[in-house]
Every structure is written in structure tokens, then in C-alpha cells.
Amino acid sequence: MDFLGIVNDLGPTALVILLLIVIVMLLRQYRDEVKEQKLQLKKHIDEQKETDGTQDEKIAYLQTHGVSKEDMFQQFGGWRTELNNMNQNILHLTELIAKKES
């Protein structure tokens, strides 16, 4: 049977009731899916808040205990000069040793 045959057999009132039942069932299914997605979204939001909290703690620790770039350069900026001075001292000592042996 085709759709129009079913409509003629049932009548318009029964067809409207059938369509309303189908619509109500679809709306309930949609509502349940929306509730499930809301729960999943809430779970993800809570997880993100926990992650944000731990990241904020780590950032605060680094801000209070970290060393600034300028301080780092002040502390370790002269290492090349010190290495050059050590190299010169070693060369000078080897020259002195070489003169003593000759």
C-alpha cells in the first residue's frame, strides 16, 4: 500500500494522532541526547578547570622562583671572557715550560 491508501484507511484524525506520537517520540529522543551532551560538556568543562588550576599553579611558581633573562645574562654573561683568559694563561704556561726545557 502506498501512503495515500494508508491515509484513506485510517482517516485524517488517526493520521494526525499517529504523526503527533511520532513527533513526541522524536522530541523525547532529542531531549535525551541533549541531556547526555550537556553532561559530557560539563565533564569536559570540569576537567579543563582542573587543568587550568594546575597550570596556574605552575605559572605562579615559575613567576616567583624563576630567574629573569636579564639576571641570567648578568650571572653568566662573562663566561666567554673567562674562557679566553684561561686559554691565554694556559698558552703562557706552555711557553714558560717550553723556554725552561730549552
Residue 1 has pLDDT above 60, yes or no: no
CA proximity to 32, closest of 40, 63, 75: 40
Query: Which residue type is seen at 96?
Result: L
- Kindly state the percentage of the chain with pLDDT values over 90: 48
pLDDT, one tens digit per residue, over 35-56 is 999 999 999 999 999 999 999 9
pLDDT at 62: 87
Residues 6+ apart with CB under 8 A from 9: 1
pLDDT recorded at residue 31: 97
Name the region of 11 (left: φ>0; alpha: ψ -120 to 50; beta: rest). Answer: left
The whole-model pTM stands at: 0.49
Q: How far apart are CA 77 and CA 86, in angstroms?
A: 16
Q: Mean pLDDT over all residues of the chain? A: 88
List, in sequence order, the alpha helices (H) in the chain.
Answer: 3-10, 12-65, 69-76, 79-101
